[in-house]
């Protein structure tokens, strides 16, 4: 009889039968280990959560008063004799790869990740393992990211030109990850940074967690429009095309996303500028990350899974496509997620979930 694998792909999520826990489950379970706080990985309804400590306040903001245990990178906890250790994923602040070991068998669940150091997330760290579970959101050769310093030179020059011409600048990115990355790389000599409430709520949660962010000012009904026009506005995807955004006219609207590498993506989002900036690994990043694990098998959960699986097998990996409900906060226009098992979801959870499921970045 074949040996049962340490981790299994089930209709609730990635399951460890030996340890009696799930990783990023999309249905309610007793014990959940969470890679990061995005809505397609962190659901409401679990009895117990384990995550990195920098995800703590954002998880509380989005999910409410959950029972949460947090750990540092490199810290090992044991569940029924199975060792669990979190390592940096480089995706967003607090994102982690989950290393699971039992009797010498090692699996790593990477969640979402990027290999470029963005200067705010703890940089991605390859983890040696026998089995590696990977995303492949941008698993096509067309997706090759430029260094972020080049992208932010473009962003800052665009902002400066708008300010010189009395035009408001609105830049869009999802509230956890992209917004903070934008914030930390803006040239603040140009002007102030103003934020939509959803963005600022997330910033405040991160600051409560001890994360040092550049100064921002929440936009309220009393915020003078003339002052906002001199600065830059960071807004979530859900604000695109709304009366909230239109009140800043005349404005120039920029969209930050890896999907901007595709011809027509900027036009579909009606953006004046598209900046190719992703919090996921590009083609080369995915291949280098997988190779660095030294894994015997790799499992691809979401993105270009079919074509990327074929390619990896052609170049010598033992790759497998698996079905999960993980989406992508940057993906196509709607993320399909399972309804959380709860009678009364918190307003913060609904806000975060609506943002992820709405006009994705």
- Give the model's pLDDT for residue 2: 72
Q: Is the dihedral of CA 252, 203, 359, 136 positive or negative?
A: positive
Note the pLDDT tens digit of each residue in 254-263: 999 999 988 6
Place of tokens 């095309």: 241
Between the CA of residue 18 and those of 15, 27, 43, 93, 99, what are the distances in Å?
9, 19, 23, 30, 14
Average pLDDT over residues 198-220: 97
- Give the model's pLDDT for residue 225: 87
- Give the model's pLDDT for residue 144: 97
Q: Is the dihedral of CA 258, 256, 40, 145 positive or negative?
A: positive
Q: Is the pLDDT of residue 340 over 60?
A: no
- Give the model's pLDDT for residue 358: 29
Q: Check if the beta carbon of residue 96 is closer than 8 Å to that of residue 59.
A: no
Q: Which of 211, 181, 175, 209 minimizes the C-alpha distance to 195? A: 175
Q: How far apart are CA 186 and CA 133, in angstroms?
A: 34
Q: Which of 328, 289, 282 minimizes the C-alpha distance to 138? A: 282
- Lowest mean pLDDT segment, chosen from 82-96, 136-150, 252-266, 285-299: 252-266
Q: What are the two backbone dihedrals, phi and then psi, of residue 16, each rounded to the nearest 5 degrees?
A: -110, 105
- Give the model's pLDDT for residue 267: 59
Q: Counting beta carbons within 10 angstroms of the beta carbon of residue 111, is it exposed (0 to 12), middle (13 to 18) or buried (19 or more)?
A: buried
- Give the model's pLDDT for residue 226: 87
Instruction: Using pLDDT thresholds of 50, 70 and 90, give the confidence band for residue 199.
Output: very high
Q: Could you count the other beta carbons within 10 Å of the beta carbon of residue 44? A: 23
Q: Check if the beta carbon of residue 192 is closer than 8 Å to that of residue 131.
A: no
Average pLDDT over residues 77-86: 98
Q: Is the pLDDT of residue 342 over 70?
A: no
Instruction: Using pLDDT thresholds of 50, 70 and 90, give the confidence band for residue 348.
Output: very low
- Give the model's pLDDT for residue 67: 98
Q: Check if the beta carbon of residue 299 is closer than 8 Å to that of residue 324.
A: no
Q: Is the pLDDT of residue 207 over 50?
A: yes
Pick the CATH number of 148-275 from 3.30.70, 3.40.50, 1.10.10, 3.40.1010: 3.40.50
Q: How far apart are CA 281 and CA 264, in angstroms?
A: 21
- Give the model's pLDDT for residue 1: 65
Q: How far apart are CA 46 and CA 175, in angstroms?
A: 23
Q: Is the pLDDT of residue 309 over 70?
A: yes
Q: Is the pLDDT of residue 87 over 80?
A: yes
Query: Residue 251: helix, strand or coil by DSSP?
Result: strand
- Give the model's pLDDT for residue 338: 24
Instruction: Using pLDDT thresholds of 50, 70 and 90, give the confidence band for residue 331.
Output: very low
Q: Which of 118, 143, 176, 146 minimizes the C-alpha distance to 303? A: 143
- For all residues of the chain together, what is the average pLDDT? 90
Q: How far apart are CA 312 and CA 46, in angstroms?
A: 35
Instruction: Using pLDDT thresholds of 50, 70 and 90, give the confidence band for residue 264.
Output: low
Q: Check if the beta carbon of residue 326 is closer than 8 Å to that of residue 169.
A: no
- Give the model's pLDDT for residue 270: 77
Average pLDDT over residues 278-293: 98
Which class is domain 8-143+279-357? Answer: alpha beta
Q: Within 13 Å of residue 65, how many CA atoms lie on the same side as its CB?
A: 1
Q: Where are the domains of the chain?
A: 8-143+279-357, 148-275
Q: Is the pLDDT of residue 339 over 70?
A: no
More confident residue, 77 or 336: 77
Instruction: Using pLDDT thresholds of 50, 70 and 90, give the confidence band for residue 269.
Output: low
Instruction: Using pLDDT thresholds of 50, 70 and 90, give the confidence band for residue 347.
Output: very low
Q: Running DSSP on this structure, what letter comes out for residue 299? A: E
Q: What are the two backbone dihedrals, phi and then psi, of residue 254, each rounded to the nearest 5 degrees?
A: -115, 145
- Give the model's pLDDT for residue 355: 36
């Amino acid at each position: 009889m074949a040996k049962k694998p340490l981790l299994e792909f089930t209709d609730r999520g990635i399951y460890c039968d030996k340890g009696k826990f799930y990783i990023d489950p999309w249905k309610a379970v007793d014990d959940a280990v969470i890679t990061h706080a995005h809505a397609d990985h962190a659901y409401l309804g679990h009895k117990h959560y384990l995550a990195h400590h920098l995800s703590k306040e954002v998880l509380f903001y989005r999910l409410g008063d959950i029972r949460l245990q947090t750990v540092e990178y490199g810290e090992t906890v044991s569940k029924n004799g199975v060792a669990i250790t979190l390592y940096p994923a480089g995706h967003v602040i607090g994102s982690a790869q989950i290393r699971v070991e039992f009797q010498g068998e090692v699996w790593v669940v990477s969640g979402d990740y990027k290999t470029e150091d963005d200067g705010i997330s703890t940089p991605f760290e390859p983890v040696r393992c026998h089995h590696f579970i990977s995303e492949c959101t941008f698993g096509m050769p067309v997706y090759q990211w430029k260094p972020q310093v080049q992208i932010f030179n473009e962003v800052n020059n665009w902002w400066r030109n708008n300010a010189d011409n009395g035009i408001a600048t609105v830049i869009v990115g999802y509230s956890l990850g992209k917004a903070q990355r934008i914030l930390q790389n803006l040239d603040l000599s140009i002007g102030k940074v103003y934020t939509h409430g959803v963005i600022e709520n997330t910033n405040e949660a991160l600051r409560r967690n001890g994360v040092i962010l550049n100064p921002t000012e929440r936009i309220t009904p009393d915020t003078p429009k003339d002052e906002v026009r001199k600065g830059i506005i960071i807004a979530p995807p859900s604000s695109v095309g709304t009366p909230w955004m239109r009140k800043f006219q005349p404005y120039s609207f920029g969209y930050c996303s890896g999907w901007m590498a595709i011809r027509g993506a900027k036009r579909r989002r009606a953006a004046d500028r598209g900046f190719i900036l992703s919090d996921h690994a590009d083609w080369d990043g995915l291949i280098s990350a997988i190779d660095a694990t030294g894994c015997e098998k790799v499992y691809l959960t979401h993105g270009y899974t079919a074509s990327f699986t074929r390619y990896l097998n052609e170049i010598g990996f033992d790759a497998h496509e698996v079905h999960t409900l993980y989406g992508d906060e940057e993906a196509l226009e709607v993320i399909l997620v399972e309804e959380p098992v709860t009678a009364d979801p918190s307003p913060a959870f609904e806000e975060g979930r609506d943002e992820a499921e709405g006009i994705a970045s």
